[in-house]
Amino acid sequence: MSNLNDKREIMKLHSKIYIGNLLIKMYYPNVITFLIKNVGPDEAKQRIFRIGQEVGREMLKIWDPKTTDIKKMILKWYKLMWNSTKYVKVKKIKEKDREIYRIIDKKCGVCDPETTIEGLEMPCVSIDGYLDACLEYISARTPLSSYKVQTIRSIAMGDPYCEHEIEIKR
């Protein structure tokens, strides 16, 4: 087995390299279809969420962004993962007992507008997993009381953009 210190260095190097996303976009529907077929749509949704969460946690270990600002963190995350924030907007809505962040993504990294994925309401639920990992990271530094992440619009379902919502209770 290779030396872990070397590996960490290589992972750091790889966290600065970008490859074409075409394969991922074309491959992603296979993962969803496979999971729906084998465990049903509800469990598939949870498992896809976990995939995003695991990736998010591991990347944050390597990346360690040292910020607790949610909006900054989300935009930094998109920049790191897809090398661009050109098509992403984060809206913050403050209410009496909660804060809501709406993440509008006009060019989702996993949804392909030409590929319809049947059987799962919001296929880009893996992005919720990434966002959850970001909140977990922030919460470990500045505790958040309770939060919930969900996808409310998805390009793969025919919406013009993907929209993820983070709700944080005060």
- Toward other proteins, which CB reaches closer, 27 or 152? 27
- Toward other proteins, which CB reaches closer, 125 or 168? 125
Residues 6+ apart with CB under 8 A from 151: 122, 124, 125, 127, 128, 162, 163, 164, 165
Q: Least Å distance between CB 23 and other proteins?
A: 6
Q: Least Å distance between CB 52 and other proteins?
A: 8
Closest CA to 76 of 55, 60, 100, 54: 60
Binding-site ranges for other proteins (CB under 8 A)? 1-2, 4, 6-7, 10-11, 13-15, 17-27, 30-31, 34-35, 38-39, 47, 50-52, 54-55, 58-59, 62, 80-84, 107, 109
Q: Least Å distance between CB 55 and other proteins?
A: 4
The one-letter amino acid at 122: M
- Separation CA 148–CA 168 (nearest Å): 7
- Toward other proteins, which CB reaches closer, 127 or 144? 127
The one-letter amino acid at 107: K
Q: Least Å distance between CB 107 and other proteins?
A: 7
Q: Helices 70-82 and 125-141: crossing angle, nearest 10°?
A: 130
